[in-house]
Copies of this chain bind each other. A is one copy, B any other.
Amino acid sequence: MTEHILRGDRSASCDELFKALSDGTRRALLEYLVREGEQSVHALTAISGVSQPMVSRHLGKLKRASLVTARRAGRETFYTARAKGLAPVVQWMAVYGALWSQRFTALEDLEGY
């Protein structure tokens, strides 16, 4: 546990991550990817309830937050949830009291980064 540093660079990634996770539609897309695995934009649009451009933009934000990766195959783009992307947020939670009574054992392997 390190001493708190005013506005470290960890803060920036936390900012981006929390912002990415703070939208319900975006979280729903991410949850779907986690549950169902790699999906095309088309498939995600079908279940998202918003327009295809919006899905693309949401996925773009998730990607910039390192929460998903994109793989292009022909005219389709497949997105995949990226486990390690949550690490900074998990770290934050661990430091600031989330670890007080919950089980994070499944995420311990992410703490390397």
Contacts and interface: CB of A to CB of B under 8 A. Distances in A.
Given A15-B22, A21-B18, A83-B97, A4 B102 contact: no
A109 B89 CA distance: 19
A75 interface: no
A21 B100 CA distance: 15
Q: What number of copies of this chain does the assembly contain?
A: 2
A75 to B, nearest CB: 23
Interface of A: 2, 4-5, 7, 11, 14-15, 18-19, 21-24, 27-32, 34-35, 46-49, 81, 83, 86-87, 89-94, 96-107, 109-110
Kindly list the 5 A-B residue pairs having the minimum CB-CB distance in the complex, ordered from nearest: A18-B22, A4-B49, A98-B106, A5-B28, A83-B97
